[in-house]
Amino acid sequence: MREITIEPVTRIEGHLGIHASIDTDNRIVKDAHAAGAMFRGFELILQGREPSEAVMITQRACGVCPVPHATASVMAIDQTYGISPPPMGVAIRNLVHGAEQLYDAEVGVVNLEGPDYSEHAVKIFNPDWWDEAEQTRAERADIHGFKTIAEIMSALNPMEGELYLRSLLVQKAGHNMAAIFGAKHPHVHSFVPGGVAKIDLSPSDIEFYLTLLMHHVAFTKELVTASDDLLDFVLAQGYEKVGERPVNFASGGAFDDPEGYSAVYDEMTEWGRKRMVSPGIMLDGELVTTDLVELNVGVKEYTGSGWYSDDWEADVETDPAGNRISKEHPWNKRTQPKPANYGRWDDAYTWVTSPRWWNWRGDGRDHVIEAGPLARMWITAKAGIAPGSTGNSLKFELPEALIPGFKYSDKMEFEWKIPRMPNAIERIRARAYYHAYAASCMLEMVMKALDLLKAGKADVWNEYTRPKEGIGYGVTEAMRGMVSHWCVMKKGLIHNYQYQAPTTWNASGKDANGKPGPYEEAIIDSPITETGESEEWKGIDIVRVVRSFDPCLGCAIHVHMGDRTREHELLPFALPLK
């Protein structure tokens, strides 16, 4: 057995470490602990404030995916205040949200996960792959333009590869699209209870948005096909078991019907099912609900292995529909930090709590749930609600896009098929296909916004009178998965505010019953493919598993091995080497 700690793991914002125990003889991970190493405390900052301030403040939880926080927060405050936005206000929120989803999908597939399968990484960690990749023809070369798998790997080299650099350019279109209606991005300024703050809406705004959107339409055809060719190759190298875990998923759904959404809790079931991305919970491969009310009631947030106290009282006994909720439900749960020593893997070891979904209308048990593009694509395909959902796949098409600089302009049909099991490779593939699906959804949303303008429904905000008491729940999809916000207002101020980012679910530590969180589940029993002697292993397979979830955490690598510590060791494939 060998123990290895990799900290921080990812390439964005780094407060995640993985401690793993590896059976070196059998080349398999036997145990894992995911440790979030920073306390934020946004929920404490919000106590006693006017609820609408939460929309601005909670966006600062992340500079990569602020709009889903703004969306979930403003929905929670809509409910708290009892004010529904007009259809155009909903459409504009969708357009801003979709713009961020488009840029963020590319960030994940190409710039955050892609380098792990780049020429630089593969030559170091899996050199036998490179030899075969040079001889393997890329089946979809007529679309993406790369003749071999090796050429795709080279295109993912950080700061020099063609895909890596072109993705950065296309991402700018996503930022600009969001800023058209959000005033700026990241951290948009236009989301307010009752709609959006944009009084000078014009057809030219929507047309400008559409012009930028077509750049994503053009690029995604290359992105999906290149990803398919590369990921099929990696699976063929024996990577199917890497990052595998059970089919236990949650999706909050996204992109509301402009004329269907309301701030009425009891109506969530109906308007939630009208979302372009379907909400739902899957347990052991079965879709148990597509009802947002049922989803909300089942949420529990335990302190688990987190550095927190669970000494709080339940203030809220039922949801607005009369369903009993638990003491651990976020309307009751409190954020009470209780710091302790780092590295006590048999005790509290992380700042991440342990959310679980309580199957309150089924087996009555708590379940470990994964969130992310794979979850939402799987649930949308399985539910049969959204157009193109077949029960086994999700079909859609994108139109012709003749944009200078892009390789394939023709109309193209897509079909994302439910894979055999979740694993590291299928999480990345789902993220690539979700980029294409989000582009399709935004094309439809642009048409809906134009139809609203033609019909004279241009109002973007409804006036309201703020009540003294209220309760609200908002949920949507961030790129990394379901994001949810809960507000309890008393005497016109926030009495309790809680939010869960996707990584709260995915990076959760072991709970009181010893059940590991999704990262930990996916790492445990995962095989090691890295070449070289075991004492030299850097843990690339473990890192690939965690990055397949696209956690919004760090970039530099800090590896602790036994009594030796290497600080800020940049792996060679992270550098712009020639």
The full 3-state SS of 406-473, as one line of letters, equals CCCCCCEEEEEECCCCCCHHHHHHHHHHHHHHHHHHHHHHHHHHHHHHHCCCCCCECCCCCCCCEEEE
Contacts of 505 (CB under 8 A, 6+ apart): 250, 355, 369, 370, 371, 481, 482, 517, 518
The full 3-state SS of 310-336, as one line of letters, equals CCCCCCCCECCCCCECCCCCCCCCCCC
| pLDDT given for residue 571 in this prediction | 47
> What's the alpha-carbon Rg for the chain, to the nearest Å?
23
Query: ω before 8 within 30° of 0 (cis)?
Result: yes
Q: Cα–Cα distance between 411 and 406 in angstroms, integer?
A: 13
Q: Closest Cα partner for 178 from 77, 70, 88, 260?
A: 70
| pLDDT given for residue 356 in this prediction | 98
**What pTM was computed for the model?**
0.95
Residue with tokens 């077509």: 214
Q: Which helix (H) or strand (E) holds 382?
A: helix 373-383
Residue ranges of the chain whose pLDDT lies below 70: 12-14, 553-578
What are the distances in angstroms from CA 203 to CA 94, 122, 494, 549?
16, 48, 38, 38
Q: Cα–Cα distance between 523 and 549 in angstroms, integer?
A: 12
Return the C-alpha torsion angle 150, 151, 155, 156, nearest 10. Answer: -20
Q: Cα–Cα distance between 199 and 192 in angstroms, integer?
A: 13
pLDDT in tens, 415-452: 999 999 999 999 999 999 999 999 999 999 999 999 99
Contacts of 239 (CB under 8 A, 6+ apart): 423, 424, 425, 529
Q: Closest Cα partner for 220 from 176, 171, 253, 277?
A: 171
Q: Cα–Cα distance between 527 and 327 in angstroms, integer?
A: 39
| pLDDT given for residue 568 in this prediction | 47
| pLDDT given for residue 8 in this prediction | 80
| pLDDT given for residue 554 in this prediction | 30
- Please count the other Cβ atoms lying within 10 Å of the Cβ belonging to residue 84: 20
The domains located in the chain, with CATH, are 2-574 (1.10.645.10)
**Environment class of residue 323 by beta-carbon count within 10 Å: exposed (0-12), middle (13-18) or buried (19+)?**
middle
| pLDDT given for residue 205 in this prediction | 96
Classified as helix, coil or strand, 574 is helix
